[in-house]
Structure 1
Amino acid sequence: MRVYGVTGWKNAGKTGLMERLVAEITPRGFTVSTLKHAHHNVDVDQPGTDSYRHRVAGASEVLLASGQRVAIMQELRGAPEPSLDALLARLSPVDLVLIEGFKREAHPKVEAYRAVAGNPLMAPENATIRAVASDTPLDVAVPVFDLNDTAGIADFILHEVGL
Structure 2
Amino acid sequence: MLNDYKKYELFGKTLIQKIDIIGSFRYDFPVSEQACFLYVTKGEFQYKTDEQEFNISANYSLFLNCITSGKYMENSESEDHCEIVIVTFYPDILKRIYDRELPLLLQKPADIVSNKSNEKINNDFLIQKYVEGLLFYFENPSLVNEDILILRACLNFIE
TM-score scaled by length of structure 1: 0.30
TM-score scaled by length of structure 2: 0.30
Q: When you count strand as a share of all residues, which structure comes out higher?
A: 2
Q: Which has the larger radius of gyration?
A: 1
